Chains A and B, each alone.
Chain A
Amino acid sequence: MNLLQIKDLDLDIHGTPILKGVSLEIGEGEIHGVIGESGSGKSMTALSVMQLLPEGSACRGEIHLDGMSVLEASEPDLCRMRGDAVGMVFQEPMTALNPLQTIGAQVAETIRIHEDVSQAEAMARAGEVLRRCELPPEDFPLRRYPHELSGGQRQRVVIAIAIALRPKLLIADEPTTALDVTTQAEILQLIQQLVREDGMSVMFITHDLAVVTGLADRISIMRHGEVVEQGDGASLHRSMTHPYTKALFAASSHQPERAGQRAETPLLKVDALVRSYPAARRSLFGKGERFRAVDGVSFEIKKGESVGLVGESGCGKSTLTRAILGLEAAQEGSIHLDGAQVLAGGQASAEVRRKMQVVFQDPYGSFNPRHKVARLVAEPFHLLGRKATEAEIDEALTSVGLTSGDKFKYIHEFSGGQRQRIAIARALIIKPELIILDEAVSALDVSIRAQILDLLADLSDTFGLTYLFISHDLSVVRAITDRVLVMKQGKIVEQGPSEALFSNPQHPYTQTLIEAVPVLPDADISQVETT
């Protein structure tokens, strides 16, 4: 008897079909991975089980949870079910908790709604639940507010809220996507441990194949609101038959082909760089301490080289990037680009700036929505003190796989992947030496990401570009770089050739980092048609 049975579930939101005939079963104690790219309907499947769908939703089909027909249940019955029989964990721990209530009160609330217990008893039990989620009350008093905790700790509170009553089913919707790799590993471990102890079933929703393959008993692959393939977690990578599944596996472990053509001349030279900020003062009259975001960083990038900079959030990589781009002055040390000092006299000269460009993470926030593509792409020409010619704009657009007709459009007419191509065109147009890719593929779905990585590799070969590839995603960095720098707390703790560093990390932090990365089993992707 399955704990959760979804049969032929259709979902329309305001008349638009979102889910089409989704069927899915989760047995008792089973971890079921639901995988798909954005818009595949995986989150809506989960919200259908909870019946917490947006307004204007209409479900047809069957959902049975532990003998209860969810689609036929009354709202009071559903309220009794939520939090008691099913717990849910969400993606964004920073916003999933009420900022005005203590963590203790928020966990205790789950208990108080479903059981007739006193506030004191509920709080005591909340403490125990938080302890199970590795936030012992001795170190994390129940009186704490969410803003006093880190992202990983907040996610533990969210998990505590979900499992407080030992539900039969836990729905985890991208629970680790917003977290750093090492935190992700801890949270995954916690979920596994809770499942073992309580014998819970889990619906684990993610876009990341690697996260789920080591975890799930069964896997469903979703696309465009349909389940395209289901299989065993341990063997799907061998037994898969659907072309989309194969393409997904292929894209996830995609390795772009690159022809190395490195020169020995250094292009970028960062020497003993220090950038510090005034730290929050501890007392009203206390001496202001300084927080060293970048703390004595030195490295070199040679012409034509592709160098990765990895580190978790808050390690100082953004500050370092801004300093290299000449957007922020450093207190100590120097940055030289092609022999010239960046930020000489507090101002980066146009001469230096024209040799480097940048591509940002967010394909939606990178462009002024009021300008046409031609103007957006031509912006760096400000550095040359002249307007771009039509031919130059056309060339930049065609070199990233767009057409010259695209220059007359506005940015909202393009998809995320296309926008990232336009961002690359903007970076390329004045033919810089160095392109800084600041999490440039992190916001993209895996299949799009693979295409952009290929494009970057091609461009580097064609134009002899040098890349500084900043990312929190180690597998991407491994695929596209020659050399890697590992950054922690403002310092470069280890650097070396990518393959050597990833296969044989020396520094303990690098080791933790690499160990934390979920690995995809070598898939049999030989028969995948190229897309």
Chain B
Amino acid sequence: MRNLVLGLSLTVLFVLGAVISFLWTPYDHTSLEIANKLKPPSLAHWFGTDHLGRDILSMIMVGARTSIAVAIVAVGIGITLGVPLGLLAAAKSGSWLDEVIMRSNDLIFAFPSLLIAIMITAVFGPSAVNAIIAIGIFNIPVFARVTRGAALSLWTRDYVLAARVAGKGGFRISVEHILPNVMNLLIVQGTIQFSLGILAEAALSYVGLGAQPPTPSWGRMLADSQTLFMLAPHITLFPGFAILLTVLGLNLAGDGLRDLIDPKLRRGAR
């Protein structure tokens, strides 16, 4: 319960930061003040300024948008494609269709997001959309597997048999009986994938495969700080802590939700 509160507070903090950034930031995150570069944290610039004199707090607030947007869309791709595939595979378990779906899933697992991003970028050039697609594709088998695994055990329940006796077909049973009962698991998995998405987006932007200038991004801020962090550690510390705390918050919230929803999974694997 403590975890859930702490996790949700951290998450809300960063979502709020992102939302507020649309209306107000301490400074314009694009305005350069070379004279003011690499200033340590002060009352004027809480988190200091970067190598071009931009306000780091403002950049972090705006960067949160990118992180959250990329992660949410990537989780959305995973859920909208993965969950139906998982339900279908479970409903047709043992058939060739199940086999094809699961084998394709295994195959996608052999392509970590980074490799997908490398391939897409090599062909289409770098952009934040690539990062979304790369992370999203990797999310599909994750949700498909979780859904199928849970759905398979639900299909053996007597209430599903009772529904079949009542003449209901595979689609209807999947929607009425299976989906509501895997929902909890999907919410938990969703928060986990959301946090992994934020990590992955940061990594991709860091190596230049994600968000491109002028779109601000935490990963790129770290990449920019790469050669200067010995001189001014704060330009590395603040974006890093932003990532760390967001991901930590989401993970704690996910664990807390799991505990809340299903006491049996209280110490479940992660």
Residues of A within 8 A of B (CB): 325, 327, 348, 350, 353, 356-358, 360-362, 365-370, 376, 379-383, 423, 426
Q: Which of B22-30, B119-127, B154-162, B211-219 contacts A (4 or more CB under 8 A)?
A: B154-162
Q: Which of B31-39, B164-172, B202-210, B237-245 contacts A (4 or more CB under 8 A)?
A: B164-172
Q: How far is the CB of A248 from chain B (nearest CB, A)?
A: 28
Q: How far is the CB of A349 from chain B (nearest CB, A)?
A: 9
Contact at A368–B181, with CB atoms within 8 Å? yes
CB neighbours (8 Å) of B181 from chain A are 368-370
Interface of B is mostly: helix
B177 interfacial by beta-carbon distance below 8 Å: yes
Contact with A along B164-199 (1 / 0, CB 8 A): 111110000000110011000000000000000000
- What are 10 residue pairs bridging A and B, where the CB atoms are less than 8 Å apart in the complex? A327-B165, A353-B167, A356-B165, A358-B162, A360-B161, A360-B162, A365-B157, A368-B159, A381-B166, A383-B166
Contact at A365–B167, with CB atoms within 8 Å? no
Contact at A379–B158, with CB atoms within 8 Å? no
Contact at B158–A368, with CB atoms within 8 Å? no
CB neighbours (8 Å) of A350 from chain B are 167
B163 interfacial by beta-carbon distance below 8 Å: yes
Q: Indicate which residue in B157, B159, B161, B176 contacts A327 across the interface (CB closer than 8 Å).
A: B161
Docked Cα-Cα span, A379 to B177, in Å, equals 11
CB neighbours (8 Å) of B163 from chain A are 379
Q: How far is the CB of B117 from chain A (nearest CB, A)?
A: 39
Q: How many residues does chain B have at the interface if contact means C-beta atoms less than 8 Å apart?
A: 15
Q: How far is the CB of A214 from chain B (nearest CB, A)?
A: 34
CB neighbours (8 Å) of B157 from chain A are 365-366
Interface centre among A327, A356, A357, A366 (most CB of B within 10 A): A366
CB neighbours (8 Å) of B158 from chain A are 360-362, 365-366
Docked Cα-Cα span, A365 to B163, in Å, equals 13
CB neighbours (8 Å) of B162 from chain A are 358, 360, 366, 379, 423, 426
Contact at A380–B165, with CB atoms within 8 Å? yes
Docked Cα-Cα span, A160 to B167, in Å, equals 49
Contact at B165–A365, with CB atoms within 8 Å? no
Contact at B180–A382, with CB atoms within 8 Å? no
CB neighbours (8 Å) of B166 from chain A are 353, 379-383
Docked Cα-Cα span, A361 to B164, in Å, equals 16
CB neighbours (8 Å) of B165 from chain A are 325, 327, 353, 356-358, 380
Q: How far is the CB of A351 from chain B (nearest CB, A)?
A: 10
CB neighbours (8 Å) of A327 from chain B are 161, 164-165
CB neighbours (8 Å) of A360 from chain B are 158, 161-162
Q: How far is the CB of A5 from chain B (nearest CB, A)?
A: 38
CB neighbours (8 Å) of A382 from chain B are 166-168
Docked Cα-Cα span, A376 to B167, in Å, equals 14
CB neighbours (8 Å) of A379 from chain B are 162-163, 166, 168
CB neighbours (8 Å) of A348 from chain B are 167
CB neighbours (8 Å) of B159 from chain A are 365-368, 376
Q: How far is the CB of A64 from chain B (nearest CB, A)?
A: 38
Q: How far is the CB of A325 from chain B (nearest CB, A)?
A: 6
Docked Cα-Cα span, A423 to B177, in Å, equals 16
Docked Cα-Cα span, A350 to B166, in Å, equals 8
Q: How far is the CB of A359 from chain B (nearest CB, A)?
A: 9
CB neighbours (8 Å) of A353 from chain B are 165-167
Q: Name the 6 nearest CB pairs between A and B, nearest first.
A: A360-B158, A366-B158, A380-B166, A370-B180, A383-B167, A365-B158
Nearest CB to that of A382 among chain B residues? Answer: B166
Contact at B161–A368, with CB atoms within 8 Å? no
CB neighbours (8 Å) of B168 from chain A are 379, 382
Nearest CB to that of B154 among chain A residues? Answer: A368
